[in-house]
Amino acid sequence: MLKIKDLAVMKYAAPVLSFAAAAVTGFLLTGTRVAGISSFADISLSGAVDLPYSAAVFTGSLIRSIIGGDIGHNIVKLSALAMIMIIKMFLEPKNDPKLCGINTAVSIFVSGTAISAVIGELMYKLLFYGFYSSLAGFTAYSAAKLILSIRRQHSISITGMNGFSCAVVYIMLIASLSAVKLPMLNAGIIISAAVTLMGAYFYRNNGGVFAGALSVCGAFLSSSSVGLNIVMLPAAGLLTGYLYKQKSHIAAAGFVGINFVMTVLTGMSVRGAENMIAIIFGVVLFIPIASVFSDKWIRTGRESAEALPDMISTRMSFLSDTVRELRTESERISDMLSDKSDISREIEENSEQVCSLCYRRPFCWKSDRGNTYRGFSRLAEMTEFASESFPVELTECLRKGELMDAFARSAREKASAKLMEMRFSESREMLHEQLRITEELIRSAGERLDVRYSENVSRIIKHKLEKFGIATENVIACYNSRSRLLAEIYFSAEEATESSTRICDLISDELHIPLESTEPVRSGKEIRIRVYEKPEYKMEVYAVSAGADNSGDNGDTHTVFFDGREAGYAVLSDGMGTGRAASIESRMVVGLFRRLVTGGVGFSSAVKLVNSVMVTKSWEESFATLDAVRIDLDECTLTVIKSGAAATLIRHHGNVLKITSPTFPIGIYETSEVFVRNCEFEEGDIVIMFSDGISENAYPFIKELLLGGDDIKHIVDEISRKAQVFNPSIHSDDVTVIGVRVTR
């Protein structure tokens, strides 16, 4: 058990050790030189820390000056340190980084100019002390900012301005330590080797190069000879970064080996041997630190960028599985409840109601229970009740009329309950389908995209649009797996936006890249426009549509669109019947499908959502087919999507492939059926889509047309013109024919 005395010792141990460390640092740094002039590291440190530790730095510097007999030489430094303490005592109650920097700069400048004026060198050194004080003040500001960040966040952030502050402090630390004179060893090289190895091991190649480059910069500030000794340190950090998966001692051995090889290749010397010894000491320092190092102490800003997609994908997948389990459990409970037999309960209730006051009850339900129960069971299964159909097992029953009335009433209740069950069953099916769609949407939203986000291009696009008075909510620019630029621009729906063509032209001019754009997509409070580089392939589409009996109203609807990422779609829907009513249904199916796909919903989930809308939109029976082809214009792959649609014919490698689907149209059943098939496809292949107005008798003729040429306009026109010739029915139907060909 800890005693009060022990707690008191622990309470004051940390301040005492910090005070001692500050004094030792001031002692070591006094007299060091950076870039040929006296180092200002101790002055910047004094300006960055609190008053007690500032006094410790002054004490250490004063002792070093007295021991070395350099008080006169260090008079400017000692005066600046004393002035910093005085200002902190009266004018700086809070350790604000800006005040720390200003305090340090003013103290050095005033001390330097005063001493220069006394010795008669004011004009000569005024400019020098202005520059010197500015550097020292900025270093103090950076150090104070770093200390404040550690106090508030209990970690070191090397992102943004915090990262710049860390770099400044680290460079000055290495420069100052490299100037500290130790027998045989260089403290700056030891720390540089340890930090570079830590950067390479914990933050891979980038960390090794970054730490090594800053170390070399600090070493060169100390002296060119020290800098040349470790000039290959960034390369060693880069190569060691590939060993991040190995154990720490293996990475340390690799780091030493790489430095040794580079030292030999650049010419071994006595200085090189001393340099290798210092690097080995740095590696020895790294090994115990690596065992206790935690990334919670250093924040690089890359953690969220690298881990967030995996976290989102994992959480979305888990949430999707949770919804699936909920749906499965709901279906299981529904099946259990619907299959449960209520005959036993019905027999028990009716026997209690009719037989409870009968004196023959003991005989019927004890001595002759078997016959009685069989008779009651037959009554429970009957739908019509008459004396002629009364069960023979209950011939001696004294209350036949009451018994028949009771079971007739139960039959009516069961019929009513069955009707309600049918209605509830439809609702349950719809609920389960909605849960299934939700499950797919969540899972697809969590899929990690194979893209590279470009912060630079996003910023350029945002600034360009703002320059022309176009306010954006967000801009996301990225490169896909083919290094093709894709950008999504989000606007507030409350503000009128420019046309997508205008926005596309502005971005194209700024990036000097020919771009295309999609139509604006509205979603709640936002509008999104996608701009993109042209993919490698393009779709050539030609369509012909005619109403039944050459009437003006056509029940078929078709559209062609690009999702703004990689895929182009050709969609055809055939409404129930012909004319205006069918046209309304087909337009709704095509419009909803296009809006969902361009909004980011996967095509399979989009079909299911459209089916739910069609089923629940009204009590009237209405349905429409959905026939779509999706072509990946980066990879030239084809996906056929069908719900109750007519066949699709594909010409590929001199052969014609017929694809049919055993599915029902959209809007018939609560549970949607989607037929999806991926097909081989390449440049020059042709797809022919058509509605039910084209009879199967025309397929041989269409095949002959496909094998006879590449002119899709001629092919589509001929199919449409000969549609009635091959139609065996006396009733004509709406006709739509779509031809799609892919070219580079």
Q: What pLDDT, on the 0 to 100 scale, is given for residue 1?
A: 41
DSSP for residue 297? S
CB neighbourhood size of 659 (10 A): 16
Q: What pLDDT, on the 0 to 100 scale, is given for residue 399?
A: 82
- The three-class DSSP label of residue 479 is strand
18: exposed, middle or buried (C-beta count within 10 Å: 0-12, 13-18, 19+)?
Answer: middle
Q: What pLDDT, on the 0 to 100 scale, is given for residue 483?
A: 82
Task: Give the separation between CA 553 and CA 549, rounded to whole angstroms.
Answer: 10
Q: Which amino acid is at 387?
A: S
Task: Give the separation between CA 433 and CA 423, rounded to whole angstroms.
Answer: 16
CB 722 within 8 A of CB 695: no
For residue 504, is it left (φ>0), alpha (ψ between -120 and 50) or beta?
Answer: alpha
Task: Give the separation between CA 444 and CA 429, rounded to whole angstroms.
Answer: 23
Task: Give the separation between CA 28 and CA 257, rounded to whole angstroms.
Answer: 32
Which residue ranges of the chain lie beneath pLDDT 70?
1-12, 91-95, 122-124, 181-182, 267-271, 294-296, 301-327, 329-342, 417-433, 445-449, 495-498, 548-553, 577-579, 617-621, 728-732
The dihedral built from the CA positions of residue 326, 332, 335 and 336, taken in this order, carries a sign that is negative
Q: What pLDDT, on the 0 to 100 scale, is given for residue 7?
A: 41
Q: What pLDDT, on the 0 to 100 scale, is given for residue 569?
A: 92
Total length of the chain = 744
Task: Give the separation between CA 726 and CA 692, rounded to whole angstroms.
Answer: 12
Strand partners, 157: 299
Task: Give the separation between CA 731 and CA 508, rounded to whole angstroms.
Answer: 53
